Amino acid sequence: MTQNDLRQMVRDVLREVVASRGQVAANAPASEIVRINSDADLMAFARRVIEAQTAVTSGELRFTLTAPVASPAPATGGAALTGVITETTVNRHASAGCLLLAPGAVVTPLARDRARQLNLKLERSR
């Protein structure tokens, strides 16, 4: 199975989910919330679809697409984050790859640890 095949499968499932949105029956099938903010999220979703292919095909399992979380501008441009950077802030921007911090921004120890776990680079603007 090629990457294009996986992408087409995801498109088909998403098209079905969007078309059926709002059509909830009394005995509605199981539904999973899907958030795709990055290529890694897309691959994880594709793997999930493949794992549950029978349930998806039969309609026993449906997916609900949520709005993506806005990610900050890359370190090369855009506004820097200011104030106290917490673990919640780091989690919110996990797919960014790099967080641009204002010179006065304070990063909590827990946020720094979480960024390290996520391989999220913290970079100060000048």
Whether the Cβ atoms of residue 21 and residue 63 lie closer than 8 Å to each other: no
pLDDT (0 to 100) of residue 113? 92
Q: Considering only CA atoms, which of 117, 26, 119 is closest in space to residue 99?
A: 119
Residue 73 has pLDDT above 60, yes or no: no
Residue 74 has pLDDT above 50, yes or no: no
User: Residue type for 126, please?
Assistant: R
pLDDT (0 to 100) of residue 96? 80
Whether the Cβ atoms of residue 54 and residue 48 lie closer than 8 Å to each other: no
pLDDT (0 to 100) of residue 9? 81
**3-class DSSP state for residue 64?**
strand
* Sign of the dihedral through C-alpha 55, 61, 65, 69: negative
Residue 52 has pLDDT above 60, yes or no: yes
Confidence of residue 14 (pLDDT cuts 50, 70, 90): confident
Model confidence pLDDT, tens digit, residues 75-117: 434 578 888 899 888 988 888 888 889 888 899 999 999 999 9
Quick one: which H or E segment has residue 99? Answer: strand 98-101
pTM, full prediction: 0.39
Return mean pLDDT, the chain: 78
How far apart, in whole angstroms, are the C-alpha atoms of residue 43 and residue 114?
22
Q: Higher model confidence: residue 35 or residue 47?
A: 47
How far apart, in whole angstroms, are the C-alpha atoms of residue 54 and residue 50?
9
Whether the Cβ atoms of residue 104 and residue 82 lie closer than 8 Å to each other: yes
Q: Higher model confidence: residue 115 or residue 29?
A: 115
Q: Higher model confidence: residue 24 or residue 14?
A: 14
Per the rule left: phi > 0, alpha: psi between -120 and 50, beta: everything else, 9 is alpha
